[in-house]
């Protein structure tokens, strides 16, 4: 698979301004949460930039390991946390004041212009969006080599080996750059739509969310199917006015999603789970959509069976709902999906028994 990807990379211009080998942008900091402060990247030192937020569970999970890496490479590497995705900037201070912060390395908070959101922060714009990685979420890592250039970027679970090689001078940057840019070219057609959808969510712009996610489903209906659920959750909001969500649902099932079992399943489930008491007309629509999804997946699909289980259970046919959820457990494609389906099954059984 790698060779076709590399060939594509040769033929297409790279669409993002920040990539492997680019000079590292300056860190434009709103304030330092934990010192000592770093005013600029000094040649001769390797820097690891760890993007995080106080609400991010996976970020907290990796903080002890990032702290261990700082200890391991003391004098050679500086790890810097960048708090760049807070909904409320004060939450960064609260995180450090809570006493439960596992971070043992420097950390700063992004510089967010007055009246703007975290999406407009300088670190988010100059690093995350500029590199085309906003939709990957956090935690996300940038490694800067001794010359002040981006050497590696990715998830912290993949960091240890390349960091060791960058420190000891054996890292094959050219090979990593070719592979990374080839993979990013595949994401380039959808990343602007993902960023646009996030912008709509941050700004509360229902039309931008609906249009962006519809375009995303058109561009990549398989990999982007889960975005149907994200859009429905956002458009439902508190559930008091479901018109935007239902309009989006009808648009998708009549268009881009009409032949996709997974997209239909995600829409159906989103309606069923939109609020505790879903109106009968909406449940009927969810059931109709789930029936269509089921017809498109005759060989079995855990996502589809789960969607049918949800709507039947919510409709009052708890026994049939549990039956479909048991089917979803058997159809799960891997251990992670099986665990999720089992959790849903146990929850249904508990509710059915009055628990």
Q: Does residue 7 surpass a pLDDT of 50?
A: no
Q: Does residue 5 surpass a pLDDT of 60?
A: no
- Of the candidates 116, 145, 155, the one whose C-alpha atom is nearest the C-alpha of residue 30 is 116
Specify the pLDDT at position 310: 97
Contact 210, 248 (CB under 8 A): yes
Distance CA 321, CA 162 (A): 48
pLDDT tens digits for range 10-44: 456 788 999 999 999 999 999 999 989 999 999 99
Compute the average pLDDT of residues 282-304.
95
Structure tokens at 220: 């990549």
Backbone angles phi, psi at 50, to 5 degrees: -110, 105
Instruction: Please report which confidence band the pLDDT of residue 224 belongs to, taking 50, 70 and 90 as the band edges.
Output: very high
Which residue ranges form the domains of the chain, and what is each CATH number?
Answer: 2-187 (3.40.30.10), 191-352 (1.25.40.10)
pLDDT tens digits for range 140-157: 999 999 999 999 999 999
DSSP letter at 285?
Answer: H
For the whole model, what pTM was predicted?
0.73
Contact 29, 109 (CB under 8 A): yes
CB count in 10 Å sphere of residue 124: 21
- Of the candidates 123, 107, 115, 110, the one whose C-alpha atom is nearest the C-alpha of residue 35 is 107
CA atoms within 13 A on the CB side of 221: 14
Distance CA 203, CA 245 (A): 17
Residue 280: is it exposed, middle or buried by C-beta count within 10 angstroms (0-12/13-18/19+)? exposed
> Hey, CA dihedral for 165, 102, 123, 10, is it positive or negative?
positive
Contact 228, 266 (CB under 8 A): yes
Residue 343: is it exposed, middle or buried by C-beta count within 10 angstroms (0-12/13-18/19+)? exposed
β-pair partners for 51: 82, 140
Backbone angles phi, psi at 324, to 5 degrees: -70, -35
Percent of the chain with pLDDT over 90: 81
pLDDT top residue among 355 and 171:
171
């Amino acid at each position: 698979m790698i060779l076709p990807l590399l060939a594509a990379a040769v033929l297409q211009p790279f669409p993002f301004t920040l990539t492997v080998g680019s000079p590292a942008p300056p860190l434009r900091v709103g304030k330092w949460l934990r010192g000592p402060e770093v005013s600029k990247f000094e040649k001769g030192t390797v820097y690891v930039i760890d993007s995080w937020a106080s609400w991010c569970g996976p970020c907290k999970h990796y903080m002890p390991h990032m702290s261990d890496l700082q200890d391991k490479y003391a004098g050679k590497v500086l790890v810097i946390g960048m708090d760049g995705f807070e909904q409320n900037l004060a939450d960064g201070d609260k995180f450090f004041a809570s006493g439960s912060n596992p971070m043992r390395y420097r950390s700063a908070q992004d510089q967010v212009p007055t009246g703007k959101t975290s999406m407009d922060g300088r670190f988010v714009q100059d690093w995350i969006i500029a590199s085309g990685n906003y939709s990957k979420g956090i935690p996300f890592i940038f490694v800067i080599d001794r010359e002040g250039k981006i050497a590696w970027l990715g998830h912290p679970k993949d960091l240890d080996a390349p960091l060791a090689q960058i420190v000891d001078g054996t890292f094959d940057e050219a090979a990593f750059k070719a592979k990374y840019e080839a993979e990013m070219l595949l994401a380039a057609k959808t990343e602007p739509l993902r960023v646009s959808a996030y912008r709509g969510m941050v700004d509360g712009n229902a039309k931008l969310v609906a249009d962006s996610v519809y375009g995303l489903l058109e561009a990549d209906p398989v990999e982007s199917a889960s975005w149907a659920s994200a859009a429905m959750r956002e458009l439902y909001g508190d559930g008091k006015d479901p018109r935007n969500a239902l309009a989006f649902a009808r648009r998708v099932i009549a268009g881009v999603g009409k032949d996709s079992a997974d997209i239909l399943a995600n829409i159906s489930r989103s309606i069923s789970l939109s609020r505790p008491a879903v109106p009968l007309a909406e449940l009927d629509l969810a059931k109709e959509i789930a029936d269509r999804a089921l017809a498109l997946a005759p060989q079995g699909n855990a996502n589809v069976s789960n969607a049918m289980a949800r709507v039947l259970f919510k409709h009052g046919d708890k026994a049939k709902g549990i039956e479909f959820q048991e089917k979803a457990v058997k159809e799960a494609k891997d251990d992670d999906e099986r665990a999720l389906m089992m959790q849903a099954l146990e929850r249904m059984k508990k509710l059915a028994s009055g628990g």
